[in-house]
Structure formats: structure tokens, C-alpha cells
Amino acid sequence: MRMVDLIEKKRDGKELSKSEIDFIISGYTEGRIPDYQMSALAMAIFFQDMTREERTHLTMAMVESGDQIDLSAIEGIKVDKHSTGGVGDTTTLVLAPLVAALGIPVAKMSGRGLGHTGGTIDKLEAVPGFHVEIDNQKFNELVNTNKVAVVGQSGNLTPADKKLYALRDVTATVNSIPLIASSIMSKKIASGADAIVLDVKTGSGAFMKDLEHARELAQAMVDIGNNVGRKTMAVISDMSQPLGFAVGNALEVQEAIDTLRGKGPKDLEELCLTLGSHMVYLGGKADSPETARTQLEEAIRNGNALEKFKTFLSAQGGDPSVVDDPSKLPQAKYTFEVKAGEEGHVASIQADRIGTAAMLLGAGRATKESVIDLAVGVVLRKKIGDSVKKGEPLVTIYSNREDVAEVKEMIEDAYRIVPEAVEGPPLIYDEIR
């Protein structure tokens, strides 16, 4: 086999076989195929797309390029949730204890944030003492005992994807449905989940800015998962504005606690109940997502979900008393209000700009090496559809420095206020199976 022939084949819109895809991915991972040939192939895929079979073969070739996590020591059906990334997406913090409270094992491998999207591990580390450096055996033990544990990414998972993603980033080939779908699914499959619930975001703060593309991506991932025997479904949810009110690590922990108590933002609660009900259903603990939802609502009402959060925190060294006394979370020195310049209704909030504003305060990383400030961030006071009076606060800034002029300006630019009444966007657009 020669790589040049395979590039030509894809360039001309023909289908690559499993053995050809295996040849490409192992050759690229091991350095026999150079970046320039892989770039040409990625561009050919970008224009010619891939069939369902090709996407599945590509995903599995990437899974097999490195280590695969073995979760067989953990009892029960392991259900993972993956979000395509958004601003102020506090769902994992809520879902992990909420779903575990119903006895579903949540063996979560999580990442840190880069750019304007936050990582679950950063958020959890806002709880004093909490750490994710636990070995495999301890991780399995914790999940078996408490039904929930979170660990940092370790080992050599999907090295082919790491290399290819970096290459796509500099060759304008990131935004390709077969390449995104296989990239995300290879990581989920290598992480060992039996079933996968995907939260595909659409809107200004998301990867997929419009619904049509979000649907296409969701279907591509669902097909790959089901093709390889992992029960997979996707929810398409709104990211035209940040989820909930809080964006920033400690602020989001606080928001998660409120939500587990049944007193959180309605959109965050609703998305957690939707995703959670599919997780519980796929985990085999309810005979329909509807009954699962009732059970989850009950776990919030009777305090089991909040209790599970405390157990989870203390099992990994965290101080569980933050749940009842949030002043023990890192606190910012200063707060500032961004006020409405005019009266009217909020028509849009550019989520990515809000995320960037939080990052500028220090809540997120500009580069992989940045050290983040766990206390800082922003809390939205107004969301799309809300009416505002001139001078009313739109956003509260939590900062450890006094000069926030640039951040204020960015937030002012993110809000569009119009005179006429506006309806808020739907939260859930579709479910894909």
C-alpha cells in the first residue's frame, strides 16, 4: 500500500477500506507517514466526507492506536456523558453525584479547560483539598463503594487523535464532521464506557453554530457508538448563551450545589434532568427516560443527590463542609457590576465573549501553561428574553484585580438589548438515537 494512492482515492471521492484506514492511522501514529501526506488526506476528507463504515473504521483505528481503559473491575453498566463544550457548562458537577445517587456507576475521566471553555477538574479543584491524582485501583474502589469518582486523563489514550487533532488545527481541517465525530468518539470508547450520552451544543458559544450541523454531528457520533456496540444517544442543547448564571470555577461549584439542592438556575436543572434521565435509562436502572426523570427529581428533593456530592468530595480529599458553607470556597476580592446602558429586552448574549471575559479575569487558560484563579469569574443577572431597565446590572464580575475595564467592555459588547419583547431560546432542540 502507498499513502499517495490512498490520498488520490479519497480525493476522487472513493471509499477507503478498513485495512487501508488501519494502514494510514498506524503509519501516521508511528511516524512512517509524514504530516504533509496526512494533511492532504485530512483535506480530502474535509471535501469528500466519509461513509458510516469509514467513520467507524477511523474511530476504531484511533482507539487501537494507544491504551484502552479497562473498567471491568467496576460493577454495573458504566455510562459516560460527553459535552461538545460550552461556556459555564456546569452539568458534569451536578450530574456525577445526581446519577450516582441512583446507583449508576459514574467513572469519570475529565480534562482541564483551555481557552473559553472550562474543565471539570479545574472546577472541582476549587473545593479545598480536592484532588484527582488517584491510581486505577483506588479509582475502581471509589466507584464501587460510592458510585462516583473523577480522575484526570492519564496513560497513552488515542495518540493518533492527539497527533491528528494538532495537525488539523493548523491545516484548516478541524471543522469536518467525520473528523470531529471520530476524534470525540475514539476518546470516549478508549475511556471504557459501556454507554454514552452526548450533549451536542449549538449556538454562538458552541463548535456547531447552527442546528443543522449540530444534528449532523450528533447523528455521526451516535452511529459510530452504536456501530461498535456502545449504546449511544445525543441531546442537542442550546449554547446561544451561557448555561445557568455562573461562569468561573468556584462560582460554578456554588451553582452546582444550588442545583443539587433544587434551587439552581432552571436551564441548568432542566438540562441535567434530561441528560441524567438518559444516563439512568441506558444504565438499566429505569424502564424509560421518563421514570428515570422522576427518580432524579426525587433524589434532589430528598437530599440524596446533595449527600452524594459531599461523599464524593470527601472521598477525594475535598472539604465537604463547603456544601453548607460556600464561603469556604475561594472568594474574589472585588465585585463590579456591568450595567445596562439602555432599557429594553435582552435579545442575545454572545456566549464565547462571556467565556473570554471570564478567561481574562483568570478563570480560564490562555495557554496550556497558564495558572488559573479559581475564585474569579462572572455571574449573569440577565439572560435572553429578560427585560432590563437602564442602569440595572447585567452581569456581576468577581475579580482579584481592580482594573477590569477590558472585561467590562467585552461583556457590554456581548449583550444586545432591543426595544421589543424577545422570547428566550429553547433549551433542548432534539434527541438523536
Q: Could you list the residues that contact Ca ion (CB under 5 A)?
A: 88, 90, 243-244, 246
For residues 386 and 315, the answer to whether their CB atoms sit within 8 Å is: no
CA distance 414 to 394: 11
Q: Is 183 in the site for ligand URA (CB under 6 A)?
A: yes
Tell the residue number behind the cell numbers 449573569, with chain if given: 380
Listed ranges 176-184, 274-282, 304-312, 387-395: which one lies at the site for ligand URA (CB under 6 A): 176-184
Smallest separation, CB 181 to ligand URA (Å): 8
Tell the residue number behind the cell numbers 471509499, with chain if given: 15
CA distance 317 to 307: 16
Consecutive H or E run containing 274: helix 266-282
Q: Is 206 in the site for ligand URA (CB under 6 A)?
A: no
User: What 8-state DSSP symbol labels residue 194?
Assistant: S
Listed ranges 104-112, 175-183, 197-205, 208-216: which one lies at the site for ligand URA (CB under 6 A): 175-183
- The neighbour count for residue 301, using CB atoms within 10 Å, is 11
User: What 8-state DSSP symbol labels residue 327?
Assistant: G
CA distance 161 to 182: 9
Smallest separation, CB 319 to ligand URA (Å): 32
Smallest separation, CB 193 to Ca ion (Å): 24
Closest CA to 378 of 344, 340, 404, 343: 404
User: Nearer Cβ to Ca ion, position 227 or 331?
Assistant: 331
For residues 107 and 71, the answer to whether their CB atoms sit within 8 Å is: yes
User: Nearer Cβ to ligand URA, position 144 or 165?
Assistant: 165
User: Nearer Cβ to Ca ion, position 85 or 225?
Assistant: 85
Given 108, 163, 168, 293, the catalytic residue: 168
Tell the residue number behind the cell numbers 454562538, with chain if given: 204
Quick check: is 278 catalytic? no
Taken as a whole, the chain contains a residue count of 433
Among 33, 107, 151, 180, binds ligand URA (CB under 6 A): 180
> CA–CA distance from 424 to each of 243, 271, 331 (Å)?
13, 15, 31
C-alpha 86 chain-centroid distance: 7
Given 55, 163, 187, 293, the catalytic residue: 187
Quick check: is 89 catalytic? no
Quick check: is 161 catalytic? yes
Quick check: is 325 catalytic? no
User: Nearer Cβ to ligand URA, position 167 or 347?
Assistant: 167
What are the phi and psi torsion angles at 82 (to 5°)? -135, 135
Smallest separation, CB 142 to ligand URA (Å): 26
User: Nearer Cβ to ligand URA, position 183 or 259?
Assistant: 183
Listed ranges 92-100, 179-187, 313-321, 350-358: which one lies at the site for ligand URA (CB under 6 A): 179-187
Q: Is 357 in the site for ligand URA (CB under 6 A)?
A: no
Among 49, 128, 144, 165, binds ligand URA (CB under 6 A): 165
Q: Is 184 in the site for ligand URA (CB under 6 A)?
A: yes
CA distance 297 to 294: 5
- The neighbour count for residue 1, using CB atoms within 10 Å, is 10
Smallest separation, CB 251 to ligand URA (Å): 25
Quick check: is 183 catalytic? yes
Cell of 184: 470525540
Q: Is 110 in the site for ligand URA (CB under 6 A)?
A: no
Smallest separation, CB 255 to Ca ion (Å): 5
For ligand URA, the binding residues (CB under 6 A) are: 165, 174, 179-180, 183-184
Question: Which residues are known catalytic residues?
Answer: 82, 161, 168, 183, 187
